[in-house]
Structures are given as structure tokens and as C-alpha cells.
Structure 1
Amino acid sequence: MKINLENWSNRLLYLLIATDLLFIALHIIYKTTELISDTSFSISKDRGYPEVFQYVKAYWVALLFLRLAIKKHTFLYLAWSLLFVYLLLDDFLEIHETGGNYISKQLDFPSLFNLRPEDLGELAISIVASLFFLLLIAIGYRLSDSIARQSSRYMIGLLFILAFFGIVMDMLHIMSRALSIEILEDFIALVEDGGEHLVMSVIAWYVFLLFETSPLGNQMFKNYWRKKPSRMGSKRP
């Protein structure tokens, strides 16, 4: 397959995936050797280097969707922007962890399937938040044009894949702790966090592609490439 390096979305995807793979490799080195001792290189570390990179991707996605919502006057894109603002704040402020711990105590959740009450609380918060934003997206979907609807169908598919790694694999990771098999627990944690990173990179690429192919983005990049040869040519004697 021929790689078009003038396609900015492709450039972004290669850089994002390469960075994700680097963080995954550094995590493996951290877990299996003594070459790296700083826990910030762990892909599972809260506010570690890999997670900060996730913040950046979620921030970019939220901004791009907001830009599309403003230029296209589309509530559907605004709903997507709000979702990724929530995901960013949830990761940074640990909303579902704090909220899950609170409601598990208030509602006296039991322990089930090796899941602690606070784990069930976190799951409940994640489900409620997911249903709320899916409702917003469904409302926006009914009010939007065919292009926004089609792009949202792809986004919903990517969102479910992200939820698989972020929710299902997270619960499986917690349940695996009861087996006291460290290598299994570490492997599931790597699949969970590594999967989240890679899927978020694909989401960032796709949203950037939407922006790039929109009239505003298309004109912006055309102007860039139109000016680039003239700048290069001006340096020639």
C-alpha cells in the first residue's frame, strides 16, 4: 500500500501508533527488567507518561469535535465533544473511581465474582455515564445530516471497542487478582491499557480525518501545501 505523506491524518496516525508502541515497550522493560525503575513509565500508572499522552489525545479529539460542531452547526458533533471532555476529566480526576466508592458505601453493594463493592460502584458509574452520552448522541443523530450520521456510526463502533478495553478488560483484570498469578494479572493489565491507547489513537486519527476532509480543514491544508513550494523555491539562487 502506498503511503501518502501529504495526508496529515495518516502522518498523525503513524506518529500516534509509534508513540503508543514505544510506551508499551517501555512498560514491558519496566516490568521485566531493572533498566527502568521510574514507575511513571508504567502504562498502568495514574498520571504516568503514557496516561498523560492519553490525556492529550482525548483533548485533541474533544477540540476537533467542538470545531466541527461550531462550523457545521451540528449538535451531534457537540455531543461527541462533551463525551471526550468527560473521558478526559474522568481519567484525570478519577471520577468513576471516586463516585463508585461513594455509591458502593451508600447503597451497600455486595462483593460479586471477585469484584469488590467499590469495583461494582465504578462499573455502575461507567454504565450510567455511557447511557447518558449515548442518549445525547442519539438525539444529535436524529437531528443531523447523512455525513454526520455516517461518521458517528464509525465512532460508535470505535467507542464500543474502547469500552471493551476500558470496562470489560478492567473488570477482568480486577477479577484475575484473586488467582494470585502475577504474570496473568500483568498480561491482562497490559492488554487493557495497551488496547485503550491504541484505540484512542485510531479515534484521534479518525476525528482528525473528519476535520481534514471537511471544507474548512480541506482549505486550510490546501493553502499550506500551496504555499510550501513557493517558500522552498524562494531559497533557490
Structure 2
Amino acid sequence: MSKATLRAAFFLLPYAGVLIGLDVAAHYGSLTNAELPVQFYLASDRSFGEYLEYALTAAIAVMMFLLWRRERAIVYLAHAILFVWLTLDNWIELHETFGLAAGPLFPQISALPVEPSHLAEASLMVGVGVFWLASLALAVRSITGRALAFNLALAACVFGAALFGVVVDLLVVWGEQGKVLHAILTFTEDAGEFAMIILAFLLTVGFFDLEYRQKHIGDRETAADSILTSG
């Protein structure tokens, strides 16, 4: 584990722990009719947790773009585009807007106790995921070693976030639920997705740091060799 990852974790994880604690308190307050500020919820609009997620996914997108600029490996560009999408989707609620607009096009299936708008939201996210996976499958064949391991690990984090953000999200709105079950499912969705984003960020920081430190070492060695050769 790189020192950059440890430094990032030292500052990030305590704050993330506080946010998760606030989310638990907010859910408990909701169940006991002692409502707390909406900003305490991890996934509420413009909440403390959401602002942190915006920062983390945007930072991952920037690091992936810089790696693409340096390496010209398309896999980094695929990740950069995905995390730009995730940042915008989280910020301006792209999939929710799509769900409301396209919901009437989806039939109400009696066997599925889910509103058509939620099915439309899930279909959009699945479509984005399929496009990203196809791009990734084509791109990873051109890289090996540490870069391949990192990109597969980052892909696993994205898959984990999608599992919570799409599958568990459907369970949250699945039929009639008691308040306790609904609170548990909502917390599981929000905290699981939150954890996957944090893990993706820490992995990216570590890999980015290693790649750039290696580049600087290589540049210094090349410069030294040039001086010795010219001398």
C-alpha cells in the first residue's frame, strides 16, 4: 500500500465514519419521530455525504484522465468518462430525471411491485454499465501487470457500487415495507455505495501515486544517462 493511500485514508476514513454515524442517527430519528436535519442522510440531495461523493468521484475522473493523457491507454479514458457520468448523475440526478420521463413507456407489470419509473431508472443504469463493460473488455487487452490489476480492482469497486445502487435500490422500492425494513434497506444501499466509492478513491490514489513517482524516477534516470552520454 502506497504512502499516498495511507495519508488519504488517514484523513478520509474518520470523516466517512462520522457521516455513517450521522446517517444511522438520522434513520433512528426517523423511526422514533425525532427527525434530524436531512443533511445527515448519506444520499439526500446536497447532504454532507453527497458532497463527499461528488468530490471523490470527480477526483477519480481527473486522475484517470491524467493517466490517459500520459499513457494513452484507452482503459483510463473509459474510467474517466464513467466517473464523470457518476458525478453528474449524483449531482443533477440524471437517472431519476430519465426515470420520470421514460417511465410511461414502461408497462406496469403486476408481478413486479415496482413503479415503471424505477424500472426505467434501472434500465438506464444497466445500459451505461453494459457500455462501460464493453469498453473495458476491449481496453484491458492492451495492458498488463500492475495496470491490469488496478483496473480490474477498480472495475470490481464499480460493480459493487452498482450492486448497491441498482439492485438494492430496487429492493428499497419493492412493494409494501415496514418502516424498520425500509430504513435497513435504505441504509444498506447508501452505506454500501458510499463504501465502494471510498475504496475506489483510495485504490486510485495509490495507483496514481505509484505511476507518477515511477515516471519521475524514469525521467531522472533518462536525464542522468543523457548527461553521461553527452559528457
> Which residue pairs with 1:32 in the alignment?
28
Which stretch shifts more, 92-101 or 126-135? Answer: 92-101
Q: Which runs of 5+ in 2 are unaligned?
A: 218-231
Q: Tell me how far apart the structure 2 counterparts of residues 213 and 18 of structure 1 sit (CA, whole Å).
A: 24
Q: Deviations over 1:17-63 (max 9, x none)?
A: 22221111112223334887321111231221111110000011101
State the distance in 1 between where 2:34 and 2:53 align: 24
Offset, 1:174: 1.1
Contact (CA 8 Å) 1:109, 1:121: kept in 2 or not?
A: no
Measure the CA separation in 2 of the matches of 1:24 and 1:206: 21
The two structures have a TM-score, normalised by structure 1, of 0.82
In 2: Cα distance, 1:92 partner to 1:112 partner: 33
| Residues paired across the two proteins, number | 214
Does the 8 A contact of 2:89 with 2:95 survive in 1? yes
Do 1:58 and 1:200's aligned partners in 2 also have CA atoms closer than 8 Å? yes
Q: Residue type matched to 1:159 in 2?
A: V
In the alignment, the residues of structure 2 paired with residue 62 and residue 172 of structure 1 have an alpha-carbon distance, to the nearest angstrom, of 29
Q: Tell me which residue corresponds to 1:141.
A: 140
Structure 1, gaps ≥5 residues long: 222-237
Change in CA separation of 1:91 and 1:111 when aligned onto 2, cut-off 3 Å: farther
The 1:184/1:107 distance shift into structure 2, 3 A limit, reads closer
RMSD: 2.3
Q: Distance in 2 between matches of 1:123 and 1:73?
A: 32
The DSSP-based 3-state class of the residue aligned with 1:178 is: coil
Q: Which SS does the other structure have where 2:173 is aligned?
A: helix
Q: What does 1:1-237 correspond to in 2, within 5 Å?
A: 7-33=3-29, 37-110=36-109, 112-175=111-174, 178-179=176-177, 181-214=178-211, 216-218=212-214
Which amino acid is the alignment partner of residue 59 of structure 2? W
The sequence identity of aligned pairs, in percent, is 22
